[in-house]
Structures are given as structure tokens and as C-alpha cells.
Amino acid sequence: MKKFLITLMMALAPMTASAAGGAGVPLDSFEGDLTDQASLQRGMQTFVNRCMGCHEAGYQRFERAAQDLGMPNALVEEYLILDPAAKIGEHMKSAMAKDDAATWFGAPPPDLTLEARLRGSDWLYTYLRSFYKDESRPWGVNNAVFPDVGMPNVLEDLQGKVVNHCTPEELAHSQDEIDPLTGKTMGGCLTVDEAGSQSAEEFDKTVYDLVNFMTYMGEPSRLESERLGTKVLIFLAILFVFAFALKKEYWKDVH
Ligand code: HEC
């Protein structure tokens, strides 16, 4: 009996521990919630409106997202498929030609379907909130976790203009939690100078939803497995009652 319980606990442990982040620079931690459909829907909307001008999610179909996120196809067709030629069954492709993009930006905007898996959701969540003004860069912005990035701050109108008060070394250092010499954290280096249309909390929420959606895209089957996982647990619990009753029945004459 004890053995059975231990085995059961070991089988369940990975579900609660979830995928812990890898080593590297400490980033703002991101705890996604793939069951929050409203958040995923808002994230998809931001992704379509703000990112797909340059990036695509070439392995994600609109229809599958509609299904997984609980949205009627007609609504997705009307509000989320901006390219009039694209159909619901198609992948989330960008209209921008790759060669043009590489010429304009120096580096082509990569496909973002699996970006959350590639870089990690923590990284994405930090990256999108870490742009700051830097006149020496072509787009007038730089990024704390992606130095000399070739992407403009496409969320600047929401976040506002961010200034950096630290030297590049301090900025890089400040991500190691708190710098013991200066006592500064990354939050201390970057502050909003000119307010955007959202407050700091609202902006964090917008990026949260966006990264939540990108996490879903990276692992569409996780939504499915989480739902299935609950059913399996209920099944196991019921099975346990019967197995236990049966065990009692078998052993009752032995003792
Ligand atoms: C104006 C075009 C443009 C838009 C709009 C845009 N990006 Fe980018 N993005 C780029 C370019 C160009 C790069 C490549 C930068 C480089 O490698 O220096 C990039 C790089 C990235 C990277 C890093 C990729 C990697 O791993 O190297 C991420 C993540 C990213 N973009 C996310 C987003 C998200 C999320 C949005 C929407 C909120 C967005 N981008 C909107 C042009 C754009």
C-alpha cells in the first residue's frame, strides 16, 4: 500500500513541479496560465495587431487557436485575420517579404511560433518590457536583455518612453538581482520618462497576456494534456477505491 502511494506521488510530482526555468541571467519570472482563455484571447489580439506586421507564427493555424482558445471561427475571421486573402485554416503568416525585412532591419524578424520554448517565457516577459531610449541605435531604442537588438519598441505607445540611468555594465550587472555595490536592480536602471497610454500595471498585464499566448503557441498540446491530466487523476482516484476494496477482499481470509 505504501509503495503504491509512493509510486502515485512520484507519478504526479512532475505535474506540480512544472518546467522550471534554466540557468542564466535572473529574469522577471513569468507564471503563465493556459486555462485563462480571456488572457490568451487578449494575447492573441495583441500578437496579431502588434507583431504580425513583421513576424509570423508559421506553424500555428488560426483555426486551431480559435478552437483551443474557445473563440468562434467567424469572430476570428472578422477580427484576428487581418490579411483579407488569408483563410481560417491557414497558418499565421506575415505579409512582409523576408528579403525586404532583412534589408530594413539588418536581421529578419524570426518566426515566433516556438519562441517561448526557445528563449523561455521569463526571457520573453522581461525582453518585451526592457526596451529603453538609445539615440545611437537605428530605431532609437536598445534592450536590456537583448543588447543592440534590431527591433523597434513596438509597444512604446502603451508603455511610454523608458530611460536608462545606468552604464551598460551596470545594466548588465543589475540583472543579477541586486548589485551589492550600487544597490541597484534592473527596475532601478529603467524608469518610464514619458507616460504611455497604459499604467505600469496595465502594461505588465498586456505583456503578460501576450507572453501567455506565445507560451500556448510553443506548446499547444499542453492545454490538451492539462485537461486530460485532470480526467486521468479522477479516473485513478475512482480506480483506487475499487482496487483497495478488491485487495481487502483477497486478503481477508489470509490473516
Ligand atoms: C517593425 C517590425 C517588428 C515588429 C512589429 C515586431 N518585431 Fe520582433 N523583431 C523584429 C526584428 C527585425 C527582430 C530581429 C532583431 C535582431 O535579431 O536583432 C525581432 C526580434 C524579436 C525577438 C527576438 C528573437 C530572437 O530570439 O532572436 C522577439 C522575441 C520578438 N522580436 C518579439 C516580438 C513581439 C512579441 C512583437 C509584437 C509585440 C514583435 N516582436 C514585433 C522586428 C519586429
* CATH number, span 33-218: 1.10.760.10
Q: What is the pLDDT of residues 235-246, one digit of tens each?
A: 999 999 999 999
The whole-angstrom separation of Cα 151 and Cα 134 is 13
Q: Nearest to residue 25, comparing CAs of 171, 155, 131?
A: 171
Output the pLDDT for position 238: 96
Q: What is the pLDDT of residues 151-193, one digit of tens each?
A: 999 999 999 999 998 887 777 766 555 545 555 555 578 888 8
User: Does residue 55's CB lie within 6 angstroms of at least one atom of ligand 1?
Assistant: yes
Other Cβ atoms closer than 10 A to 212: 24
User: Does residue 145's CB lie within 6 angstroms of at least one atom of ligand 1?
Assistant: no
Give the predicted TM-score (pTM) of the model.
0.79
Minimum CA distance residue for ligand 1 atom 37: 51
User: Does residue 107's CB lie within 6 angstroms of at least one atom of ligand 1?
Assistant: yes
Task: Indicate the burial class of 38 (C-beta count within 10 angstroms; 0-12, 13-18, 19 or more).
Answer: exposed
